[in-house]
Amino acid sequence: MAELQEAHLRAVPFENLSIHARQPIVLDERQLFAKVVEHRRGGFCYELNGLFAHLLQEIGFRVTLIAAEVGKPDGTFGPAFDHLALAVELDDVFLVDVGFGDSFRRPLRLHDRGPQVQGLTAYRIHQEGEYYKLQQQNQHVPNAPGEIVYRFRRQAHKLAEFNDMCVYHQTSPESHFSQKRVCSRATADGRLTLRDRRLIVTRGRCGKKRRSTRKKPLPRPC
């Protein structure tokens, strides 16, 4: 499963281009398969984790779709169903996510309260009442505060329950997905990201991190 998650992140981009092309995103497994597999596209969390859950289920894994609330800089959280992630049961329960952009590349043990280090980042999962909180911290920045990525409960959901928020993120001017275009894919040692008309190349995932950005905008498409 760990190899599948990392391979997915390196092969399938996290992107919101359908939203800006006015192509409706429908949470139907056949349509998601056609877009991602047959047309070699990417998508955002509802599409990528929704389809990845179907893949894992088909090869025998026990998968639960979980609704997460994304953390904000002021310490509050987004609405329910703001993000779709997965819980997969093996010898332990693992948090799996191929739809959050630059995040953990291999599954995290849900009940491990210590740091789970991947590359430059230490991830921790805290439990507060019925909520689990995913925290990330840059290991190479002294005294860097941990950032809460999102929180979630273990309640199982169906893909259709995410429809309303999927529509919201496609249509609302307040959604960050409707404000800027992004297409991002993990590489062996970093990440390639196209944000609007700027290309960002990040290298050194397992060592010193360097980021280079094109000073000139990319040429306009014909």
Q: 39, 74, 82, 97: which is the annotated catalytic residue?
A: 97
List Cα–Cα distances, 23 to 18, 144, 173, in angstroms: 5, 40, 16
Domain 2-213 coded CATH 3.30.2140.20: yes
List Cα–Cα distances, 212 to 123, 191, 198, 199, 209, in angstroms: 25, 11, 11, 9, 10
166 a catalytic residue: no
Provide the edge-to-edge strand list for the sheet that holds 210-213: 14-15, 182-186, 190-195, 198-203, 210-213
92 a catalytic residue: no
Q: Are 108 and 95 a contacting pair, CB within 8 Å?
A: yes
**Encoding tokens for residue 135?**
């925290």
Q: 8, 45, 82, 169: which is the annotated catalytic residue?
A: 45
Handedness of CA 53, 57, 61, 64 (dihedral sign): positive
Provide the edge-to-edge strand list for the sheet that holds 121-128: 108-109, 93-96, 83-89, 62-70, 147-152, 131-138, 121-128, 116-118
pLDDT one digit per residue (tens) for the chain, 222 residues: 999 999 999 999 999 999 999 999 999 999 999 999 999 999 999 999 999 999 999 999 999 999 999 999 999 999 999 999 999 999 999 999 999 999 999 999 999 999 999 988 999 999 999 999 999 998 877 677 789 999 999 999 999 999 999 999 999 999 999 999 999 999 999 999 999 999 999 987 544 444 445 544 444 433
206 a catalytic residue: no
The Cα 69–Cα 116 span in angstroms is 21
The Cα 161–Cα 139 span in angstroms is 36
Q: 8, 82, 83, 169: which is the annotated catalytic residue?
A: 83
Helix, strand, or coil here: 101?
Answer: coil
Q: Are 164 and 171 a contacting pair, CB within 8 Å?
A: no
Q: Are 151 and 71 a contacting pair, CB within 8 Å?
A: yes
